[in-house]
Every structure is written in C-alpha cells, then in structure tokens.
Amino acid sequence: MSDTEHPAVIDAVVVGAGLAGLYQLYRLRERGARVRVLEAGDDVGGTWYWNRYPGARCDIESMAYSYSFSSELEQEWEWSERYAGQPELLRYIRHVADRFGLRRHITFGTSVTRAVYDSRTHTWTVTTDGGEEVTARFVVMATGCLSRASVPDLPGLDDYRGPVLHTGRWPHEEVDFTGRRVAVIGTGSSGIQAIPVIAGQAAEVTVFQRTPNFSFPARNRPIGRRESAERKANYAEFRAWLRATPVGIPRPLPERGALEVTAREREAAYQSAWDAGVLGGIQASFNDTLTNRQANDLAAEFVRAKIRQIVDDPETAAALCPTGFPLGTKRPCLDTDYYATFNLPHVRLVDLRRSPLVSLTERGVRTTGAEYEADAVVLATGFDAMTGALRAVDIRGRDGAALNEVWAAGPRNHLGLLTAGFPNLFTVTGPLSPSVLSNMLISIEQHVDWITDCIGHLGDHGLTEIDATVEAQDAWVRHVAELAAGTLYPEAASWYQGANIPGKPRVFMPYLGGVGAYREECDAVAAAGYRGFTLSRLPDAHPTA
C-alpha cells in the first residue's frame, strides 16, 4: 500500500503532531503500521508551534529536553543555548519531521471533534472538523497537557478596541510593541518569561498580578562546542540517569531534610540552587521541601529575601513576594531578569489582590483602583490543563458512554494510559501519569514506547482490544490521590488540580511517584501480561500492526 492511500480501516490515528505525536508516528511506522496523524495547526510542533510569545523558552535544559530515540539525531543536532528558545525548538521539531520522513502521514489544519468506538469491530471512527471520518483500530491522543488555552471570562473583553493576544495562541506574524503601552494579565511561567522581553520593546508595561509566583533565575547561556561534545560522549548514560530520577531533570538528588542541617548549610544549599538556575532547584535542595511545611517555609523565605534584594521599591517587592501557598506547589518558573524588570521606570505592577480587576474597557483595563490605558492586552492566563484537550473531543466508548461524563468528577484511568470502557484509546502523558511533573520528553518517550509495545503485543498474539479493568483503574486513581495527599501540593489552588478553571473538579492530576518508579510499574504491568487490563480478540480478526 502506498503511503498516501487512506485505506478503509487503518491501524492508528494519532491526534496531534507535537513532540508526542511525532514520536508515536515514528514508532508505529517503524513497525509498518498504517497511521494517520491529525493536527490542528498548520505545522508540526505542538506547544512550540502555538506558544511563540516574546521570551518563550523551554525551562528544562535542551540537552535533556530532546529526543533520545535516535543517537544519530542526538549527535548531529547542535543546541545553541542551555535553554532553547521557541524558534530553535520549533526548528528542531521540524528537522525531526523531515529527517524521518514523517510529514506525509500528517494532515494539518484538522481538528478532531469526535471519536466513537465500535465494540463489534474493535475500531474507532474519528470525525474531523472538516467532516472527514477515519476508522482505525487504535487512537492515540497526543494532544498535550497544556494545549487548550484558557481565556478568562473578563467583563468588557469585547469592548476593548486594541488587540488581545493570548500567550498560548500567539500570532504567527511579528508583533511589534515598540512605542506601545502593553497590559499583561497573568504572572505564571508564560507571563514571567514574556514580561522582561516585552519591557525591552514597549514604551510602557503594566503587569496585572493576581497571585505572585516563585521564580528563579534561569542563568541561560550559550552551549559551547566543547560542552556539547562532552555531553554527547556520554549521552546514553546521561539519559539513563535522567530516566531513573524523580522528574527527569538534571539536578542533584538530595538525601537530607532541611531541618537536619545547620542554618549556614541550608543557606549555602539554597544559594547554590539559586546560582545553578535549574527548574525546581530550590525545592530539590532538600528532600522534605514538598512534605514538611517548616522546611518549605525556610526555602520560601530564602526566595522572598532575594526578591526584596532585587526589587528597589519595597511596596512592589512586597507585592511580588509569594505567600499563601507552599513553594513548589504551583509550577515554579525560571526567568531571565523578571524581578529586576520592575525596577525599570516604564514598568509597573498592579496588585489585583489589593484592587481587583473589574473589566476591560474600550481603552484598557479597569481595576477597583483605576483605569489603565493600553494599546495591547496580553493574556498570559494559562490553560485548561491536562484534561482540557481531551474533553474538547466528544469521545464515546463502549455502549456510547461519553468520556466527559465518566470524567465528570475528575479524570479516571489506569496508569494514565487507558480509561475503562474506552478500549484501544491511549493518552500520551495523560492525567494521572507523571506528565507535567516531569521532563515531558522523558515521559513522552516512555509512554510512546509502552503504547507501541502494547499494540505490538496485541498484534503478535492475534488480539484486537485492550481495556482497563474498573478495579485496576479505581486502585490507580486512589494511589495517585494518596501520593498527592502525602505532600503539600493540595494546599495550593494550582492548575495541577484544576483550580484555575471555574467549575473544574479539584483533583490532583499528575502522578507524584517519580518517573523512575512509574516506568518500573508500567514495565511490570506489561511483563505480567498487561495486569489490570483485559485483552481480547474478535473471532475473525486479522491484526496487522
């Protein structure tokens, strides 16, 4: 069969052509499977296709946040910076698509609106926004954890006369803020990266902050040839080490608690993490930061002291100091000159906790304190994380059951991979897997490898269906919740537990056991003949994948 033909029933539909979808396509093609990838954007890249706001940059080191499946790719690609910017990441992903001949299997500009399972044929029929129907034995949702932009329901949004730009849906054409007055709403990772860069261009920047975040200097720098060559000489060992660590990020693994050392040792450890510029480095200085409130307070106070040191105006510094939630329980940020940006004469902070946002007006943003005129409004307001992109598709499993109803009180699945009653539908880095609490590349490769092996196992054994058992699913959901309950994470109203989206059930969604332990569990499940899943076959099945 030619690559461009679309047979009546193909092996797999992969939804999304970001880092997950591309690798899934590569692995299934390697097995000779007939695959189609359906992608909403007009190019590959996923997150790095959509998030092109000024300053967009990965905050995991490039040499760790990259594919490991091909040593040729690993060796030939040269990263220019310790933390790659969005344009370089997109170039890399495009290179991967071209190098491995993946584009011809991808249909761009196409969103999946519906997916319906047929228990009689063990197939899914996927419908696109263009009205096309594709029937496949498996569906892999590679739709990303942070892909559904959240635009808050701000009164007056339609009244505002200037452009409103969401960081997660940034225009593809150049946005020039030179001489403009820019309002930025939101101070999470996206806002914190964008604000210093926008301030470098705009005439005036007004930052509307509801909750201050903990942010640490990234200490980004070019990667020299020598540093790159040294890493490449031991790349396999480096990757193997990352896979066994808690989150797959190159940073030290602490053996002691913050209260087991002297104040001087503690300060030195925090300072060393601050100087290193590694995501989560401060919280990872000691092994109890996320479980012991006293230990957490010490780390948080270290960061607040840094903010007070950097920011000249005491009132602004106080407003920028995060309080009210433990350090690390909202996603920490890495920045370049974020706090120092507030020392610039044309940058001001509006503390929405003191004067809440009332509405957008024709000319700008109104709070209970004043109206701030702006020529453009930037919404750095985040995403309907982890479940948003999945719930946006009308997914119907066995007997017409709707995933949205099954997940009404929060996501349910086994291992974050398959939901009972929705056979043959896999989620890459789905909720209840390490996902956003890990280096996504580590988790993506692990999931895709597991899914590909699973599909291969079914094919090798003449099986046509895999479904999670309700018992295994219930136990997994409980396990993920218990892990979270043993930490300080539930104390923060974070997007990890859906708190940023009105009406979303509060369920802590990422698995907290670490990528190493998680991989072992997934491998053990597979080795035990897919324990916790039911495998079956149609009487007249002729599996091919």
Q: Using CB under 6 A as the criterion, which residues of the chain lie in contact with ligand NAP when the complex forms?
A: 57-59, 146, 152, 154, 167, 185-191, 193, 208, 210-211, 331, 352, 357, 380-383, 436, 495, 500
- Per-residue b/e over 452-480, b at no fewer than 16 CB within 10 Å? bbbbbebbeeebbbbbbeeebbeebbebb
Query: Minimum Å distance from CB 438 to ligand NAP?
Result: 11
Tell the smallest beta-carbon distance from residue 524 to ligand NAP (Å): 29
Residue 49 exposed, middle or buried by CB count within 10 Å (0-12, 13-18, 19+): buried
* Spatial distance between the Cα atoms of 300 and 328, rounded to a whole number of angstroms: 9
The nearer residue to ligand NAP, 167 or 446, going by C-beta atoms, is 167
SS3 535: strand
Q: How many whole angstroms separate alpha carbon 428 and alpha carbon 449?
A: 10
Residue in this structure with the two tokens 């849906």, named with its chain if needed: 169
Cα–Cα distance measured from residue 136 to residue 126, given in angstroms and rounded to the nearest whole number: 8
CB of 347 to ligand NAP, least distance (A): 17
Residues 206 and 281: their CA atoms lie apart, in Å, by 29
Residue 28 or 380 with smaller CB distance to ligand NAP = 380
DSSP 3-state of 192: helix
Q: Which is nearer to ligand NAP, 112 or 378 (CB)?
A: 378
DSSP 168: G
- Between 191 and 397, name the residue whose CB sits nearer to ligand NAP: 191
**Nearest distance from residue 436's CB to ligand NAP, in Å?**
6
CB of 216 to ligand NAP, least distance (A): 12
What is the smallest separation between the CB atom of 194 and ligand NAP, expressed in angstroms?
Answer: 9
Distance CA 184, CA 348 (A): 10
**φ/ψ (deg, to 5) at 508:** -75, 115
Residue whose structure tokens are 């946040």: 65
Sheet of 357-360: strand order equals 357-360, 364-367, 371-373
Q: Between 273 and 352, name the residue whose CB sits nearer to ligand NAP.
A: 352
Q: Would you say 124 or 495 has its CB closer to ligand NAP?
A: 495
DSSP state of 436: G
**Closest to ligand NAP by CB, 435 or 452:** 435
419 vs 497, which CB is nearer to ligand NAP? Answer: 497
- Least spacing, CB of residue 167 vs ligand NAP, in Å: 6
CB of 49 to ligand NAP, least distance (A): 14
Listed residue (13, 138, 135) closest to 454, CA to CA: 138
| Cβ nearer to ligand NAP, comparing 187 with 341 | 187
CA distance 315 to 318: 5
Residue 218 has φ and ψ, to the nearest 5°, of -75, -30
Strands (DSSP E) along 492-541, which ranges?
A: 533-536
Element (H, E) at 305: helix 293-310
* Shortest distance, position 218 Cβ to ligand NAP, whole Å: 9
- As measured in angstroms, the least distance from the Cβ of 211 to ligand NAP is 3
Q: Give min distance, CB of 151 to ligand NAP, in A.
A: 9
Q: How far apart are CA 55 and CA 63, in angstroms?
A: 19
Total residues belonging to the chain? 545
Strands 123-128 and 112-118: antiparallel
**Among residues 147 and 424, whose Cβ is nearest to ligand NAP?**
147
Is 190 or 283 the residue whose CB approaches ligand NAP more closely?
A: 190
Residue placing its CB nearer to ligand NAP in the complex, 150 or 452: 150
Q: Which residue is nearest to ligand NAP (CB)?
A: 188
Closest approach of Cβ 197 to ligand NAP, in Å? 12
Residue 245: what residue type? Answer: T
Query: Minimal CA–CA distance to 380: which of 105, 53, 147, 144?
Result: 53
Closest listed residue to residue 124, CA positions, set 139, 112, 110, 113: 139
Of 14, 16, 295, nearest in space to 148 by CA? 16
Nearest alpha carbon to residue 440 among 171, 48, 148? 48
Instruction: For the CB of residue 296, give the shortest distance to ligand NAP in the complex, in Å.
Output: 18
Strand partners, 10: 136
Task: Report the residue number, 143 or 419, with the smaller CB distance to ligand NAP.
Answer: 143
